[in-house]
Amino acid sequence: MPSQRPRLHLPALGLELHRERAGVTLEEIADTTKISRTFLRAIEEGNYAALPGGVFTTSYIRQYAEAVGYDAAEILDHCRRSLAPEPEAEPENPNTGLPKWASRLLSLG
């Protein structure tokens, strides 16, 4: 089974700009939702690994989206893709320089 590594950081969704255009400050969202500014900034930056995880992350994203008028499903999808592990390429067979699957296929005759 190939090992997995964290996916590279995806580009942010432009949430800060959207929030500013909506005329809402982080302080207002923090006061209303009781979510720390650190977590709100992490959502805006797409740094979902900095969030507490599980249902808290989902709840924080939904509350943020509602406060700024953004589609929560889009942010949640971005979060899932950002945090999903990316499979590593299968290592090459040191004897042939081919991927292991190709070496196995050739050995079948």
> For 12-53, what is each residue's pLDDT tens digit?
789 999 999 999 999 999 999 999 999 999 999 999 999 999
Q: Is the pTM for the entire model greater than 0.85? A: no
pLDDT at residue number 85: 79
Per the structure, the count of domains in the chain is: 1
- For 87, the domain range is 4-107
User: Phi/psi class of residue 46: alpha, beta or left (left: φ > 0; alpha: ψ in -120 to 50)?
Assistant: left
Q: Phi and psi (nearest 5°) for 86?
A: -105, 125
Q: What is the CATH number of the domain that holds 77?
A: 1.10.260.40
Q: Is residue 7 pLDDT above 60, yes or no?
A: no
Q: What is the pLDDT of residue 91?
A: 60
Q: Measuring CA to CA, which residue among 85, 82, 83, 84 is closest to residue 3?
A: 85
